[in-house]
Amino acid sequence: MTTLLSLLPLLLVLGLLASGRASALVAGLAGLAATLAASATLVLQADGPAAVALLFRREVPAGLWLSWHVIAIIVTGVFFHRATLARGGAGGGTLGADPLEASPRRLFAVCFLLAPFAESVTGFGVGYIIALAALRRLGIGGIPALLLGLYSQSLVPWGALAIGTTVGATLAGLTPGELGLSSAVLQIPIHAMYLFLYWRFAREAGVAVPALQKLDDALWTALLLVLVWMANRFSDVEIAAAAPTAVLLGVRFWRDERPDGARLRATLRTAAPYVVLTLTLCATRLVAPLRDLLKPLWALRPFDNQPAFAPFYAPGFWLLSIGLAVVLMARAPLAKVAAEAARGAWRACAVTLAFVVMAEFYVGSGMATSIAEALRAVAGRGAALGVPLFAAVGGFLTGSGAAANAMLMPMETALARALVLDPAWIAAVQNSVTANLTMLSPIRVSMGAAILALSTSDAALYRRAWPLALPPLLTGVAAVLVLLFHL
């Protein structure tokens, strides 16, 4: 009875999302209500009314505090994007308007550098929007553009300044850096398989990639992955994708385009908000005196097991500050930009709040542990193979690494402990698989179809796009098998 009651909120959420008749917000609110009722019932039966009151007094503030870290990025990230749009130009002036030849080099830079950079800085599909604009500038449209645009989501464990990884790490009892580093290791085989699929999609889009260029693509992919790993190892997880993609994007532009002084100055002017933001975030994380000044300044940490919030160190402060500067310099109506940002952000904020508070109650009431023990009893050590499948379903249905981690991480790390497996690597499998599967979520695919004005059915789109699910799924299953046979 305890296990069934613990499972019901999760099953309710998955059922509502899978039905296609409920949004992520409706499913999250329904799941939260069911979780509150189930946790209160179980704690009441075990420990009485006083324990229920204590549970709510402890977990509601903890869930709100963890949600705030995500919401601060959502709101300021959307505001920053709206500010760059108000400044003018496609994708906030980063892409230009003149058509370009769809060369293999340019296509690789768009799919693996430009679009993932935009997604890592702002998140929430902004990188996808910029990718589609760039692909259309290269003369690529239709289903090929939709498929290649999905590569904007290929570094989503660090998307939106790694808010999903931060949430997952907190719920798994890890630091964001620890989870980011192990996720970077898993991203190596995932990205290698993405590259092979990319060559096939490029050929279908009419951009054949010759053998020598494939070698070039492979070397740049390896360099990108090494830099992502190093950024996680030696810096903060928030810039672990933004900094490497920005650096390589600049080097690629110089190598491939050979810009003269006028074009270089024009490119820097249009990309200025992103350049300033990246340099600022890197400086606050890599320049020791500045980091040591800002990180403890007015820092708040009301919960020992939750991350601190330092207002002048938080990425949201710089997203907001630079966004405000962009609006003022462009003489755009600030009230209009702020209103557009609020309309664009509120739903994602509400979804995050619902799922994160739901996760806190799963942990605090012992429901996650109850499910893990039941899975272990039924399937033994083989239950661990369900982790990548759960993660894939969560990422696909929610379209959000933060929401999927909040929904599943407590249960899966509890399962790891029950099976005497390393919870840190199980958390990395959950984080990597769920984040990468968000690229195929109905939210992303329908967004691409709407932007490209495709009349193709969803079934036809997924018949072409489904191979993108294989790299994270195969990597996740392989990682779990290594854990099982290593012990």
CA distance linking residue 27 with residue 20, whole number of Å: 10
222: left (phi over 0), alpha (psi -120 to 50) or beta: alpha
Residue 437 pLDDT: 94
Residue 98 pLDDT: 59
Q: Where are the domains of the chain?
A: 2-486
Per-residue pLDDT tens digits of the chain, which is 487 residues long:
788 899 899 889 888 877 877 887 888 899 999 999 999 999 999 889 999 999 999 999 988 998 898 888 888 888 998 898 888 744 444 444 557 788 999 999 999 999 999 899 877 678 888 898 899 889 998 999 999 999 999 999 999 889 899 999 999 999 999 999 999 999 999 999 999 999 999 999 999 999 999 999 999 999 999 999 999 999 899 999 999 999 999 999 999 888 888 888 888 888 889 889 889 988 998 898 999 999 999 999 898 777 889 999 988 899 999 999 999 999 999 999 999 999 888 888 888 889 889 888 988 898 888 888 888 888 888 999 999 998 998 888 788 888 889 888 998 999 999 999 999 999 999 999 999 999 998 778 877 887 788 887 777 888 899 999 999 999 999 999 999 987 5
CA distance linking residue 288 with residue 282, whole number of Å: 11
Residue with tokens 């929610």: 398
Residues sharing a CB contact under 8 Å with residue 276, sequence separation 6 or more, in sequence order: 322
Residue with tokens 């992103």: 274
Residue with tokens 């698989």: 433
Write the burial class of residue 9 (CB in 10 Å: 0-12 exposed, 13-18 middle, 19+ buried).
buried
Task: Please say whether the beta carbons of 63 and 360 come within 8 A.
Answer: yes
Q: Where are the beta strands (DSSP E) in 47-105?
A: none
Residue 244 pLDDT: 96
Residue 326 pLDDT: 94
Residue 109 pLDDT: 95
Comparing CA positions, the residue from 126, 161, 153 lying closest to residue 396 is 153
- Alpha helix positions (H), 399-456: 401-418, 423-437, 442-451
- Alpha helix positions (H), 205-333: 211-234, 242-257, 261-270, 272-286, 288-294, 315-330
Q: In the chain, how long is the greatest CA-to-CA distance?
A: 74
Comparing CA positions, the residue from 382, 383, 405 lying closest to residue 394 is 405
Our measurement of the distance from residue 348's CA atom to the centroid of its chain's CA atoms, rounded to an integer in Å, reads: 13
**Is 376 in a helix, a strand, or coil?**
helix
Residue 487 pLDDT: 55
Q: List, as one string, the DSSP characters of 104-138.
A: HHHHHHIIIIIHHHHHHHT-TTHHHHHHHHHHHHT
Residue 91 pLDDT: 46
Residues sharing a CB contact under 8 Å with residue 11, sequence separation 6 or more, in sequence order: none
| DSSP 8-state code for residue 469 | G
Q: What is the pTM of this model?
A: 0.84
Per the structure block, which two tokens stand in for 33?
Answer: 């209500």
Residue 204 pLDDT: 94
Determine how many CB atoms are found less than 10 A away from the CB of residue 334.
14
Task: Please say whether the beta carbons of 70 and 159 come within 8 A.
Answer: no
Residue 368 pLDDT: 86
Phi, psi of 236 (to 5 degrees): -95, 150
Per the structure block, which two tokens stand in for 215?
Answer: 């070698």
Per the structure block, which two tokens stand in for 248?
Answer: 């390589």
